[in-house]
Amino acid sequence: MNLKEYKTYFTEALSELYPQTEIDTFFFYLMEAYLDFQRTDLIIKPNFEVSTETGVLFKKALEALKKEIPIQYILGETEFYGLPFIVNRHTLIPRPETEELVEWILETADTTAPLQIIDIGTGTGCIPITLAKHLPNASLFAIDISKEALRIAKQNAILNKVKLHFTEKNILKTTMLTQNFDIIVSNPPYVRELEKVDIKKNVLDNEPHIALFVEDDNPLLFYDKIADLAIEHLTKNGLLYFEINQYLGTETVEILHKKGFKNIELKKDVFGKDRMIQCTFNEVN
């Protein structure tokens, strides 16, 4: 079977589950992974004969896509802020919105300063690893409750040639951090149980719920806890950054305001949704 025929085969097999644009994207990802081809190669080499061995890989991927397994888990990798990251079902798949959070930090941070930065709930390590690549004089620390997620994060640090300090820790049971930090950042679980009805099946059935969901009656418990730790461990003029639930921006700001945080800025993502917060506690005038 040639490349064009495989593309038709994929479209027919997946058309009832996915829109055409998404099917095209899946196929392009697989072409790159299995053939080292680019999108234009489908036009330039439509009659390229796919080997039996590669055909097996394509068919296995197709069966997984029929089960609505995310393409990133099928390939075992994804890209974040232009960097490669290993992913599996123990880690959330990094989102473009989180790239915007990282961009905001980099726009604010002194790239030449020996900053101390910690990411709480690191998952794949995408936030601190990306910061480490762009802030060469900074020291990066990362915490996660999941041993398996940390194992992947450590592999990603090696893959991207950066040094991080990783700790397995339940932040909700943490009374103090090991030191003070210039930047504390977190993208904690924030999707309420009531919002599950709006979550796509491929996310709900595959990505780790411990990294996604919180109870409806206390959806901001991670923000409350991390803010308390930030009060004790932010340096003078240190900054706290959160990725947040788009529906709870006002409530999250109110928690921070009541705790005495200053210069609280709520920022929308590229889709116009409340998505991230920056603030400080120990401001020097």
What's the rounded Cα separation, in Å, for the pair 188 and 185?
A: 9
107 and 49 part of one domain = no
Give the residue numbers spanning the domain of 21.
Answer: 3-67
Q: Write the pLDDT tens digit of every residue in 21-80.
A: 999 999 999 999 999 999 999 999 999 999 999 999 999 999 999 999 999 999 999 999
Are 125 and 260 members of one domain?
A: yes
The total of structural domains in the chain comes to 2
Same domain membership, residue 177 and residue 123:
yes
Task: Say whether pLDDT at 284 is over 90.
Answer: no
Instruction: Summarize pLDDT for 86-126 with one digit per residue, the tens.
Output: 999 999 999 999 999 999 999 999 988 999 999 999 999 99
Strand intervals (E) in 99-228: 116-120, 139-144, 164-168, 181-186, 191-192, 213-214
In contact, 167 and 140? CB cutoff 8 Å:
no
Nearest to 58 by CA among 103, 115, 5: 5
Question: Is 253 among the domain residues?
Answer: yes
Tell me: the pLDDT tens digits for 201-250? 889 999 999 999 999 999 999 999 999 999 999 999 999 999 999 999 99
Give domain status of residue 155, yes or no: yes
Q: Are residues 125 and 31 in the same domain?
A: no
Judge if 237 and 140 occupy the same domain: yes
Question: How far apart (Å, rounded) are the C-alpha atoms in residues 36 and 30?
Answer: 9
Query: Are residue 108 and residue 161 in the same domain, yes or no?
Result: yes
Looking at the fold, whether 55 and 137 belong to one and the same domain comes out as no
Which helix (DSSP H) or strand (DSSP E) does residue 251 occupy?
Answer: helix 249-258
Query: Distance from CA of residue 53 to its chain's centroid?
Result: 32
Cβ neighbours of 10 (radius 10 Å): 21
Q: What is the CATH number of the domain that holds 178?
A: 3.40.50.150
Residues 50, 161: one domain? no
Sign of CA dihedral 148, 152, 153, 158: positive
CB neighbours of residue 69 within 10 Å: 16
